[in-house]
């Protein structure tokens, strides 16, 4: 498939702007064909106006129709595998195997939402029937369900160029909810974005979806993104990226005449607590597991374990030695962009310059550009507690080993933590009993709490929470991964006194969609 | 019961401040005993710090324990009926019958949340079990449920001194969710607030709830409320009142280092569309119904029908005549405060000064202070469409009759509407068929859409939505009335790889709480 470098505004390609930019191959530093034409303010406006027009029709499509659309997108993407992976490897430096896996995750995610729509109960239907005889006033018939918010702006992430990008979780859940989507492509992988965008546009046409249900705008300048967030017809924003980027969008949205929700996933250092008993038993396995988790995707996972807290002991020393061995034997790999590699290197330098922080071990530099070399640092619990900066995410293959003297220091670290996406505790059954208070403290800090696992790898399922208290996200009440993500783009409405024929299918008396409903306070199951 | 005028900080009364204020009897203009002592910044801080300490214990109370607490509050309030109603009548000018009804609504609301907790399924438990044999990577065990956000600040409303105040819907839903509450009493009814606050504090003690689960601070100055919103340990805000007040809290919360959710219900003019067919059939009944709804509680309901849209016809003239008759025959009544009465009068004057607006009829002035005299105004659809100010709420017993020439003008009015709490359509079956597009337009503008009813009267039930798009509220995704209000104060958490013994009861394998759960994608009913 030939790239055009143009924006996709509903069913047309558009290139009115004069500013162009190129994708770079991080492995070589070379610019890649073609020139991408940055969207103008008028083009962003056109995309949003089309989305608003599409919304009136799209929100009235049945769940089954929307499910077919999502399945068709998945099908289009699956067919595009080789083209997509080839271009994406060039733009991101990520290996083919990883990208094939990520494509599978992306199509699986779309199909999961399609199945959610076919099942239909996600709308949370609630029915309270009338009682005309109630005194002193008759009881009305009231019925509630979730409906779509309106056009949604989505900002693709750099680190998952498929699963958190143009057809990623934000787009899939917004389209599932009934919201048209205007995606701002991440400038690090504009070609991948165009390929995916065209696949979605084709699926929309094949499924007779209204023109404007999906648009893609390109841009390296922040003005393009700002135009989306400021547009009065945009009703919600999905974003995955840095704290700075996410917080700027949040502030922009709060300043609008009509403030709108912003779901920004803004990074996390995902603390891992290794308890004394399990370190005594499994120091080698744990070190191997941690080293693997730290280096997964060259450390460019939102759930990378950036802080590891241990307690000083002979076994902890063995654990550290093993970790050092694994890391010093590791080979570097290409990071997503030169800028990310630079930030990673300077983040490490800034930590090491603290002189309370030392290097435990560093991997080997391979050939090629933008090499992320794994490195483990260490510090003491008291130094960590005294310096809040050490908690900040360093995006890349690293973890900061924090050595505590006792349980109290571990608890104090947990108590002082900011919000994170995840926290993890490794422990024997006895450890976990002895540290029940640690688990309780961590529960307040994160969206996902793991025992005896590693946080990298976010299962796409009904029960996942990829979210957590600020500053990990801008809205702890939601998740950006898993089926619960759909309610980010909906709101409840109550219909009072409606004749059955005017009610939406989900709320009609005969339950034609055969969904779970709360009827007069009792759950009534689908048949 | 003697009033102390003091703040209630957990289990002690406190009056460290120097500033005092009095409640006024709006019917006489006289100050009422006693002097209330405004909370200092230190007292607000103390209340919040106590709430945070209480949170650790309170959030771990079982649903049944929290249900007992809510039921005990309801019991305490019911026993206090005569004292409460006597004081509240003095402070608000509302008649005894109305306040007894409102107290019933308040205790009923507490008991409804207690029942929700006993049933238990509201936590939205989701379980996806492990599959260690899955390739390429094993599937982990993940389990999700809703948990409490943390200490909540609640701002009592003036217009429902019981049901939307100290023990109102915000407090009931936050306590139900597992969040301690710090209430800022509305300065128009501080005595009522103190009585209710003491009842809650007694219930907390009787139920062995942790000290600080509830506090009440008094204050007429905005600094007291600001101190609550700005406090870093406060994690969410509930508010019912004016747009200016609610938007100021929203902005304050968005500016915090850690932004927090603000649920502000900020007013609405609740447009009512009377379609041609039903006006031809029932002009008198509709006029009587509307006149009653307009005057309910001296027009001081959030859901007061402030705009009524009709189509010119002979029958519409009859409707208007009947409305005029009803209104001109009406007797005024005491409004909540002199300030509210002044705002009402100046709101009407400002509309009438437009010279595109005329008075249809005005009621009679009775004896006593702060009299709200009902008045109906009218204008044309084209004038209404041309002047967005006419859509703004005038809080009091009034409605603006908007006369349109045809269906198109009605649709244009609907299309141009801001967000409101409710919209209503009166119509015959044929009308409703002919105006299906009107219903679809209104669906996007409101939280509750009514057919052939009046919007005043908000049923407390599972399916109610008392909310709606901005500027009606600051968060259209939520309701402040009904059981769905509980999730305003919770967030999801995912437990991964937890041994059964460490899981919360709601997620344990054996389902000991016997609640509805989504297990491996299938709903499993309570037994």
**pLDDT given at position A355:** 85
As a whole number, mean pLDDT of residues A36-58 equals: 98
Q: Considering B76, B265, B322, B391, which one is annotated as catalytic?
A: B265
Q: Where are the alpha helices (DSSP H) in B310-353?
A: 314-328, 338-352
Mean pLDDT, chain B, whole residue set: 97
Please determine, for residue B2, whether its predicted confidence score (pLDDT) is greater than 90.
no
**pLDDT given at position A284:** 96
Whether B130 has its CB under 8 Å from any CB of chain A: the answer is no
| A88 in Cβ contact with A271 (< 8 Å) | no
Q: Do B464 and A258 touch (CB under 8 A)?
A: no
Please determine, for residue B337, whether its predicted confidence score (pLDDT) is greater than 80.
yes
Rounded to 10 deg, the angle between the A436-443 and A407-416 helix axes is 10
Please determine, for residue B432, whether its predicted confidence score (pLDDT) is greater than 70.
yes
CA-CA distance, A335 to B245, in Å (whole number)? 49
**pLDDT given at position B185:** 98
Q: Which residues of B touch A487 (CB under 8 A)?
A: 477
B contact residues 304-343, partner A, Cβ 8 Å cutoff: none
Please determine, for residue A526, whether its predicted confidence score (pLDDT) is greater than 90.
no
What letters, b where the CB count within 10 A reaches 16 and e where it falls short, cover A430-452? ebbeebeebbebbbbbbbbbbbb
**pLDDT given at position B152:** 98
**pLDDT given at position B1:** 66
Record the tokens describing residue A252, joined without a space.
């922009």
Which of A252, A480, A496 is the best residue to mutate to test the B interface, defined by the most B CB atoms within 10 Å of its own CB? Answer: A496
| B347 in Cβ contact with B394 (< 8 Å) | yes
A contact residues 176-235, partner B, Cβ 8 Å cutoff: none
**pLDDT given at position A270:** 98
Please determine, for residue A366, whether its predicted confidence score (pLDDT) is greater than 90.
yes
Whether A21 has its CB under 8 Å from any CB of chain B: the answer is no
DSSP 8-state code for residue B38: P
Q: The tokens 């049944």 sit on which residue?
A: B64
Q: Do B494 and A449 touch (CB under 8 A)?
A: yes
Nearest to A223 by CA among A264, A184, A175: A184
> Which residues partner with B24 through β-bridges?
B31
Dump pLDDT digits (tens) for B136-168.
899 999 999 999 999 999 999 999 999 999 999
Please determine, for residue B514, whether its predicted confidence score (pLDDT) is greater than 80.
yes
CA-CA distance, B273 to B250, in Å (whole number)? 31
| B88 in Cβ contact with B99 (< 8 Å) | yes
Q: Do A523 and B518 touch (CB under 8 A)?
A: no
**pLDDT given at position A303:** 97
**pLDDT given at position B232:** 98
Q: Do A142 and B487 touch (CB under 8 A)?
A: no
Q: The tokens 């070609």 sit on which residue?
A: A191
CA-CA distance, B146 to B167, in Å (whole number)? 23
Dump pLDDT digits (tens) for B442-479.
999 999 999 999 999 999 999 999 999 999 999 999 99
As a whole number, mean pLDDT of residues A463-492 equals: 98
Dump pLDDT digits (tens) for B205-251.
999 999 999 999 999 999 999 999 999 999 999 999 999 999 999 99
Question: What is the DSSP pairing of strand B333-334 with strand B371-372?
Answer: antiparallel
ipTM, interface predicted TM-score of the complex: 0.98
Let me know the angle formed at the C-alpha of B176 by A478 and B185, rounded to the nearest 5 degrees: 100
3-state secondary structure A171-233: HHHHHHHCCCEEEECCCCCHHHHHHHHHHHHHHHHHCCCCCCCEEEECCCCHHHHHHHHHCCC
Give all domains of chain B, ordered by start, each with its CATH number: 7-132+139-266+478-488 (3.40.605.10), 272-451 (3.40.309.10)
Dump pLDDT digits (tens) for B76-103.
999 999 999 999 999 999 999 999 999 9
Rounded to 5 degrees, what are φ and ψ at A418? -70, 180
**pLDDT given at position B526:** 84
Whether B499 has its CB under 8 Å from any CB of chain A: the answer is yes
Please determine, for residue B355, whether its predicted confidence score (pLDDT) is greater than 90.
no
Dump pLDDT digits (tens) for B5-20.
999 999 999 999 999 9
Helix (H) or strand (E) holding A86: helix A81-92
Mean pLDDT, chain A, whole residue set: 97
Whether B471 has its CB under 8 Å from any CB of chain A: the answer is yes
Nearest to B259 by CA among B269, B245, B249, B244: B249
As a whole number, mean pLDDT of residues A229-234 equals: 98
Please determine, for residue B54, whether its predicted confidence score (pLDDT) is greater than 90.
yes
Q: How many CB atoms lie within 10 A of CB B524?
A: 15
**pLDDT given at position B443:** 97
How far B113 CA lies from chain A's nearest CA (Å)?
A: 12
CA-CA distance, A174 to A261, in Å (whole number)? 13
Q: Do A484 and B450 touch (CB under 8 A)?
A: no
As a whole number, mean pLDDT of residues B32-52 equals: 98
CA-CA distance, B236 to B173, in Å (whole number)? 12
Q: Do A484 and B492 touch (CB under 8 A)?
A: yes
Q: In what order do the strands lie in the sheet with B214-217?
A: B12-14, B7-9, B214-217, B181-184, B152-155, B236-240, B262-265
**pLDDT given at position A1:** 66
CA-CA distance, B8 to B183, in Å (whole number)? 10
Dump pLDDT digits (tens) for A392-448.
999 999 999 999 999 999 999 999 999 999 999 999 999 999 999 999 999 999 999
Q: Do B492 and A521 touch (CB under 8 A)?
A: no
| A70 in Cβ contact with A199 (< 8 Å) | no
Span between the terminal Cα atoms of chain A, in Å = 46
How far A443 CA lies from chain B's nearest CA (Å)?
A: 8
**pLDDT given at position B345:** 97
Tell me how long chain B is.
527
Closest residue in B to A101 (Cα) is B136
- Cα A278 to Cα A284, A315, A428, distances in angstroms: 11, 9, 5
Whether A434 has its CB under 8 Å from any CB of chain B: the answer is no
Dump pLDDT digits (tens) for B264-319.
999 999 999 999 999 999 999 999 999 999 999 999 999 999 999 999 999 999 99
CA-CA distance, B312 to B407, in Å (whole number)? 11
- CB-closest option in B143, B477, B490 to A491: B477
């Amino acid at each position: 498939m030939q790239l055009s470098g143009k924006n996709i505004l509903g069913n047309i390609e558009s290139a009115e702007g004069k500013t162009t930019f190129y994708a770079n191959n991080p492995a070589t530093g070379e610019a890649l064909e073609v020139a991408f034409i940055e969207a103008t303010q008028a083009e962003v406006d056109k995309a949003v106006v089309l989305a608003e027009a599409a919304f009136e029709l799209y929100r009235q499509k049945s769940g089954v129709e929307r499910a077919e659309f999502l399945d068709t997108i998945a099908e289009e993407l699956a067919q595009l595998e080789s083209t997509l992976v080839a271009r994406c490897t060039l733009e991101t430096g990520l290996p083919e195997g990883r990208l094939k896996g990520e494509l599978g995750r992306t199509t699986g995610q779309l199909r999961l939402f399609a199945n959610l729509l076919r099942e239909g109960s996600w709308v949370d239907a609630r029915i309270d029937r009338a009682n005309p005889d109630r005194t002193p006033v008759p009881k009305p018939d009231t019925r509630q369900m979730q409906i779509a918010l309106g056009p949604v702006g989505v900002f693709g992430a750099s680190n998952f160029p498929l699963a958190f990008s143009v057809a990623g979780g934000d787009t899939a859940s917004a389209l599932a909810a009934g919201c048209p989507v205007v995606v701002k492509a991440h400038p690090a992988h504009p070609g991948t974005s165009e390929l995916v965008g065209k696949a979605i546009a084709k699926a929309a046409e094949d499924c007779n979806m209204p023109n404007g249900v999906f648009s893609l705008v390109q841009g390296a300048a922040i003005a393009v993104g700002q135009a989306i967030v400021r547009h009065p017809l945009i009703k919600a924003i999905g974003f995955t990226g840095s704290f700075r980027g996410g917080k700027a969008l949040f502030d922009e949205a709060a300043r609008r005449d009509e403030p709108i929700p912003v779901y920004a996933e803004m990074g996390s250092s995902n603390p891992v607590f290794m308890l004394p008993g399990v370190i005594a038993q499994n120091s080698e396995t744990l070190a191997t597991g941690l080293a693997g988790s730290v280096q997964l995707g060259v450390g460019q996972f939102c759930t990378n374990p950036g802080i590891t807290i241990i307690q000083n002991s002979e076994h902890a020393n063995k654990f550290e030695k093993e970790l050092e061995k694994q890391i010093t034997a590791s080979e570097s790999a290409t990071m997503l962009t030169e800028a990310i590699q630079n930030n990673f290197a300077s983040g490490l330098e800034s930590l090491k310059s603290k002189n309370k922080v030392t290097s435990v071990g560093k991997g080997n530099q391979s050939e090629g550009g933008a090499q992320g070399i794994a490195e483990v640092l260490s510090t003491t619990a008291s130094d960590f507690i005294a310096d809040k900066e050490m908690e900040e995410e360093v995006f890349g293959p690293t973890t900061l080993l924090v050595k505590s003297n006792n349980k109290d220091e571990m608890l104090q670290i947990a108590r002082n933590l900011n919000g994170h996406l995840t926290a993890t505790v490794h422990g024997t059954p006895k450890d976990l009993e002895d540290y029940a208070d640690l688990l309780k403290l961590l529960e307040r800090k994160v969206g996902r709490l793991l025992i005896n696992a590693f946080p990298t790898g976010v299962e796409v399922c009904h029960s996942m929470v990829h979210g957590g208290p600020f500053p990990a996200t801008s809205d702890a009440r939601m998740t950006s991964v898993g089926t619960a993500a759909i309610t980010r783009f909906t709101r409840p409405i109550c219909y009072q006194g409606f004749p059955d024929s005017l009610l939406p299918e989900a709320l009609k008396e005969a339950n034609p969609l055969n969904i779970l409903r709360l009827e007069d306070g009792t759950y009534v199951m689908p048949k």
